[in-house]
Structure formats: C-alpha cells, structure tokens
Amino acid sequence: MMSVIVRLDVMLALRKVRSKELAADIGMTEANLSLLKSGKVKGIRFATLEAICERLQCQPGDLLEYEPEEAAG
Amino acid sequence: MNNPIARTAARLRWAVLAASVLVALLYLSARVGLQVAGTDIEIRSHSAEVFGWRAIADVSMLILLVALFRLSQTLGAIAAGELFSVPMTRRFRSFAFWLMLLALFGFFAPLVAEVIGGRRDGPMLFALDLRQLMLLGITLFLFLLARLMERARELEAEMQEFV
C-alpha cells in the first residue's frame, strides 16, 4: 500500500473542475487522469504536477499527502 | 515509422536482405562453377585441407543465411516500432544463437571431419582460427545485449506507469 495519497479528487471538488475538463486543459488522457486520481500510478512527472497546480491554482502539497504505514493501516 | 531509429533499422534490413541474397547467389555460382560477369568465383576455406570441407562450407553458409534472416527479422521488428518488445528480443537472441552455432560449427566441424576422415599421412591437423574465436566472443556479447534489452523493456514498462 502506498504511503503517499493523491488528493486530486478533493482539489477538483474544491475548484469545481471536472476530470474531463482538467484532462483536456493539461493535455492528458482521461484514463491516465483517472489512474492518477485513484493512485494507481508509480509516479507523477514534475511537468504533469506543474500543469495540474497551474490549472487548479494550488500547491503540490494540496494534491499529495504522506500518510505513514501504521496510520494508513 | 517516424523515429530515426526505425528508419535506420528499415534501411539496414534491406541492406541485410540484399547482402544475404548476393552472398547466396555468389556461393551458388561458385559451387556449380558458373562465371559472373566473366569472372570465376571460388570458395576458399581455411579447412580446405580437411576431409569433407565442401560439406562444412555448405552447412556454414546455410547457418549464416539463417542468422542473417533472423537479423533481418529483428531489424524489421525495430522498424515497426517495437524497440524493446518481447518478439524483437526473441528474434535478436535467435540471431545470436545462429551466429554462435556458426562459430562453434566452424571451430569443431573441421576437427570432427579430421577424425572421421582420418589422415593418411602424418599427424592430425588442428587449425586454430582466431576469427572463429572472435566470432564466438562477439556472439556471447550479443546474448548479454539481449539481456540488456529485456532490462530496458522492464524500465520502459515502468516509465509507462508514470503520468
């Protein structure tokens, strides 16, 4: 289980932006965005992170959160 | 086929195929004693003194053609965009195998022929050909290259999980 949790869905809800809209704006496929939202990716490129932060007007820390294994389990 | 590697592989594939056909035709011409453009073509082998050397040369040529065919298939896969795919690596490894077989055959076949044929005069002849040893070394390196390609495929697959 990954200790780094992706909080993209929370930011999308706060900014009232749809996944489809974000995917189109940052030039990413909806399938990949969906994988990112569900945390089913091995990593995220700085370029992708930058594009998301720019579009959602947020910081990387708003999108990613570290949860220690014990707390997560 | 828009990347430079694929284009180079496609060109190289045609060169390998053309060279294979040319070598096969020249060999056949020499074998049946035909002249090409008024020139005699002759097969020369370091094991020409050995019993059955023509058969050894025929089999060596056959193995070389199979190896070249497998190389052309490898290049074809690269040209189709399969840079580190499983079929490409399998074909490359097959090419290395046939090349190794060629080196081993070239090394041991004259020895076996000597034993089977038996020398009528003097001791048995063992001719050490450094080119065959070099070829063997190169084929072993090709096998290592195939392992590196497998590792590259794993890395490529991992990279695809990055968004």
Contacts of B162 in chain A (CB under 8 A): 41-45
How far is A20 from chain B, CA to nearest CA, in Å? 16
How far is A35 from chain B, CA to nearest CA, in Å? 9
Residue B125 CA from chain centroid, whole number: 26
Q: What is the pLDDT of residue B13?
A: 97
Contacts of A28 in chain B (CB under 8 A): 163
Q: Between residues B137 and B120, which one has the greater pLDDT?
A: B137
Q: What is the pLDDT of residue B159?
A: 87
- A17 pLDDT above the threshold of 70: yes
CATH number at residue A12: 1.10.260.40
A6 three-state secondary structure: strand
Residues of A with CB under 8 A from a CB of B: 28, 32-33, 35-36, 41-45, 48
Separation between Cα atoms, residue B118 and residue B105, nearest integer Å: 19
Average of per-residue pLDDT across B6-27: 94
Q: What is the pLDDT of residue B112?
A: 84
Question: What residues form DSSP beta bridges with A4?
Answer: A66
- In chain B, domain spans: 4-159
Express each pLDDT in B128-162 by its tens digit: 778 888 989 999 999 999 999 999 999 988 888 89
Structurally, chain A folds into a number of domains equal to 1
Q: Tell if the CB–CB gap between A44 and B158 is shorter than 8 Å.
A: no
Q: How many CB atoms are located within 10 Å of the residue B142 CB?
A: 16
Nearest to A48 among B158, B161, B163 (CB): B163
State pTM to two decimals. Answer: 0.73
Q: Between residues B158 and A55, which one has the greater pLDDT?
A: A55
Contacts of A42 in chain B (CB under 8 A): 158, 161-162
- A73 pLDDT above the threshold of 50: no
Question: What residues form DSSP beta bridges with A66?
Answer: A4
The parent domain of residue A45 ranges over 4-72
- How many CA atoms within 13 Å lie on the side-chain side of A16? 0
- A72 pLDDT above the threshold of 70: no
Residues of A8-46 as b/e, b for ≥16 C-beta within 10 angstroms? beebbeeeeeebeebbeebebeeebbeebbeeebeebee
B36 three-state secondary structure: strand
Q: What is the pLDDT of residue A58?
A: 95
- B79 pLDDT above the threshold of 70: yes
Contacts of B161 in chain A (CB under 8 A): 41-43
Give this complex's ipTM. Answer: 0.72
Separation between Cα atoms, residue A47 and residue B43, nearest integer Å: 61
First to last CA, chain B: 24
